[in-house]
Copies of this chain bind each other. A is one copy, B any other.
Amino acid sequence: MTTAKTLRVGMVGYAFMGAAHSHAWRTAPRFFDLPLQPQLTAVAGRNADGVRAAADKLGWDSVETDWRRLIERDDIDLIDICTPGNTHAEIAIAALEAGKHVLCEKPLANSVEEAERMTLAAETAAKNGVFSMCGFSYRRTPALALAKRFVEQGRLGEIRHIRAQYLQDWLSDANAPMTWRLDKSKSGSGSLGDIGAHSIDAAQWVTGLNISGVSAMLETFVRERPLAGDLVGLGGHGDLSSDAPRGAVTVDDAAIFSAKFDGGTSAGAIGVFEATRYALGRKNAMRLEVNGTKGSLAFDFEEMNVLSFYDAAESPDAGFRRIFVTEPEHPYVGNWWPTGHGLGYEHGFTHQVVDLVTSIGEGRQPEPSFADALQVQRVLAAVESSAANSSQWQKV
């Protein structure tokens, strides 16, 4: 390992996403052969004690209290952005302009305008071999990657229906505390951008089709929530007294939209999407079903190691086949455990690092590019526009 070329990483932010990314940087080279060896060089955060403790815990060699300093350092090759969406554009553009590769958490930005600027910066940088990727990590779930493979192999035929749900319930309790995720100025949107964006990206990526128009409804069930002292973090697991001071929820709690898809031979495909944090009992039900003329696929992240596939050619004895996606032939799986030994949530981040480092090492643009993420951002904007306009159909 000592002679291999390295990829020195600087990460901004160290909460939920930071822990997941750190694990991925540490773990990817232990199970996969990478062209570059990642180094956990530095982590940045505004709170000096917090970032120091995080660095120790997560395995980073040094700390910074200003992300700008991270970008200035000569010993950093890649900036990994794990902060709320309102900071993405500034950090990513600065990093790219400084010649650092960028991995940016999703959604790419809080507006189409920001995303467009980021995409422009990314495309400019790419000409100089400086690459960027947006962290739609669910693409790296083996079962979803297998789903995409099936579509590409033509096993579904022409696609007609897509139904995507992302159901959580951590806001069901009206007294769960306010968090930055419910503050539009930080998060950009609520369920729509936080989890709905994953569904949009997965639906488009798996099918190879783009959403061309939507009709949408957004709903906010609980308009005020108790303020906790610390608004950073995931929230959702605390419960404050009902007389605590309250802050305004300025994002959607739930988003529902119908969609049409363009592209290839499945131009007539239609979809229905739902994202919510109020589906009591559904914890992380990121579900995708695709119905074609020859076959169908169904996936639920709550059973993340399973892909269900229906092959009409087996009729009349056809049925959804529950593929346990743990065979060595399946995407990513051969580098892990023997057949039948399932993976967990964080493996998606490890695979993301594998794909990113491999692309960089080979001088190729990684996927999803910022341009791919911009397309998702445009769908998000169209959803908000339709919802604000009596659900009227809105082109993307």
Contact = CB atoms under 8 A, between A and B. Distances in A.
Interface of A: 1, 16, 19-20, 22-23, 26-27, 30-31, 56-59, 146, 160-161, 163, 165, 168-170, 172, 174, 215-217, 219, 221, 234, 236-237, 254, 256-258, 260, 268, 270, 272, 274, 276, 278-285, 289, 291-296, 302-304, 306, 308-310, 312, 314-324, 326-330, 336-347, 386, 390-393
A330 B237 CA distance: 13
Contacts of A316: 327-330
Nearest to A4: B56
A342 B302 contact: yes
A337 B20 CA distance: 8
B340 A283 contact: yes
Contact of A26 (B26, B236, B302, B340): B26
B237 A339 contact: yes
Given A270-B254, A337-B345, A392-B390, A323 B330 contact: no
B328 A319 contact: no
A296 B285 CA distance: 14
A183 B267 CA distance: 25
Given A268-B221, A291-B279, A318-B323, A22 B16 contact: no
Nearest to A314: B321
Contact of A291 (B260, B278, B339): B278
Contact of A272 (B256, B338, B344, B393): B256
Oligomeric state, in copies: 4
Contacts of A268: 219, 221
A320 B314 CA distance: 13
B324 A283 contact: yes
A276 B340 contact: no
Most chain-B Cβ atoms within 10 A of its Cβ — which of A1, A165, A296, A342?
A: A342
Nearest to A153: B317
A281 B310 contact: yes
